[in-house]
Amino acid sequence: MPEEQHEEQSPEFSKVALGLVIAVVILGGVVYAGYQYSQKKGGKQTLPSGYPVAQQAGQIDCSKPRDAAVNIWDYYGKCDLFSVDASTKWNPEVNDEFGFEFSLPETAKVSRYKNGMGFEYKEFQPSWNLLYSVDLASSRSGEFKSLTGKNYVENYWRQYPGLTGLKSVETIVNGLGTEGWKAVYKIGNQDGNTEMFFELGKDSGNYIHFTKGILSQPVFDNIVGTFKVTNVEKTPAKVSPAATE
């Protein structure tokens, strides 16, 4: 009798065991998928092209050569920024396509791209360190197409998951009377670099966006201090969202 009872319960036991196996497999798949997702989200930051990422500058001893394991942004950002002396000649950098100009030190090694300029220094490739980029309303998506003036600068960071917030933004007028905005964004819990935005035509939504990068503060200040729009008629027209959707 006990033996017969065992035989009657075996199918039910098999169903329970099979159910447990399936549950474990599903749970394992969910955990693995979650792990993969967290690796992708946590291990890769989405930042503007050429945006510098510093992490541990406070721990670096500038009296010692750079350790290969130390991020180059961290080391040079703290110990050896690009600088010039009083005898350095500054030359005009004219962009006829978009109608603006500014001054550059003659010792700067740059690469000119259609929509920006890269700055070469030490181990830095120009594409790693963009001095400026042309940020056109027509190249943006969604609500960012219609933002202009200071409003865009305040919300710029929201386009990039690697930027986690806005620390500060202020309206400035440079030495040539050109109005712009100086901003500092957050990367994680750290402050990012100094950013400068100049709008190409009032309320056009088109900007020249300078990033301090590996430049010393005096060099960066002089570059943005000499920026001016030379021909508003050459700046791209404001593109309405309706025209591009």
Residues 25 and 94 in one domain: no
Is residue 172 assigned to a domain? Answer: yes
Residues 197 and 108 in one domain: yes
Cα 192 to Cα 68: distance, rounded to the nearest angstrom? 23
Q: Give residue 58's pLDDT.
A: 56
Structurally, how many domains does the chain consist of? 2
Residues 11 and 70 in one domain: no
Q: What is the span of the domain harbouring residue 28?
A: 1-44
Residues 82 and 176 in one domain: yes
Residues 23 and 67 in one domain: no
Q: Give residue 175's pLDDT.
A: 93
Residues 93 and 203 in one domain: yes
Is residue 49 assigned to a domain? Answer: no
Is residue 125 assigned to a domain? Answer: yes
Q: Give residue 78's pLDDT.
A: 87
Q: Give residue 47's pLDDT.
A: 62
Sheet holding 179-187, edge to edge: 109-113, 116-120, 130-135, 207-211, 190-199, 179-187, 165-173
Beta-carbon contacts of 107 under 8 Å, excluding residues fewer than 6 positions away, are 84, 88
Q: Give residue 61's pLDDT.
A: 85
- CATH number of the domain at 124, please: 3.40.1000
- Cβ-in-10-Å burial (0-12, 13-18, 19+) of 141 comes to exposed
Residues 78 and 156 in one domain: yes
Instruction: State both tokens at 228.
Output: 């001016």
Q: Answer yes or no: are the C-beta atoms of 133 and 209 closer than 8 Å.
A: yes
Beta bridge mates, 171: 181
Residues of the chain with pLDDT under 50: 1, 6-7, 21, 23-43, 239-245
Q: Give residue 25's pLDDT.
A: 42
Residues 159 and 206 in one domain: yes
Residues 123 and 202 in one domain: yes
The pTM (predicted TM-score) of the whole model is 0.74
